[in-house]
Amino acid sequence: MTENTIRLERHIPHPSSAVWAAFTSPELLCRWWAPGDIAPTVGHRFTMDMGPWGQQQCEVLAVEPGELISFLFSEGQLDTTVKWRLETVEDGTVLHLEHGGFNLDTPLGQQAFEGMGNEWPGLLSRVDGVLSGVS
């Protein structure tokens, strides 16, 4: 484990196809995280509106349809990588999150690492509500 990577696992009581949609469709992504025109296509460039943190430029780096999407987050500022991998289990889906590549030698990198480390658990807990129609 590297010290500049946030790793989380979450069980989401919904089929992986629904969870995949929550992470790869702009309509659902904005309901639990932030507005952004994400698409599960390698090379797709998109912008996420992170409110007080501004517009973050992103680019999809890897896709395994229904199973994995990885993208460069905050290009030119943080230059981190977010990877979501889905694992189908009997009672839903296990989400494996990795958000890595933080430059802990800079104040911005340290602040982002600590902030996102605190932020991701709450964000991920909202996915079930979005998929249950209780946003």
Q: What is the CATH number of the domain that holds 52?
A: 3.30.530.20
Tally of domains in the chain: 1
Domain boundaries, position 113: 6-131
Number of helical (H) and strand (E) elements in the chain, helices listed first: 3, 6
Would 52 be classed as within a structural domain? yes
**C-alpha closest to that of 81 among 68, 91, 72:** 72
**pLDDT tens by residue, 20-50:** 999 999 999 999 999 999 999 999 999 999 9
Q: Decide if 31 contacts 23 (C-beta within 8 A).
A: no
Q: Sheet harboring 80-89: ordered strands across?
A: 6-12, 92-100, 80-89, 68-73, 55-64, 45-49
Residue 3 has pLDDT above 50, yes or no: yes
The whole-number pLDDT of residue 60 equals 98
Residue 70 tokens, joined: 């990885």
Report residue 1's pLDDT band, with 50, 70 and 90 as the boundaries. Answer: very low
The predicted model scores a pTM of: 0.93
Would 117 be classed as within a structural domain? yes
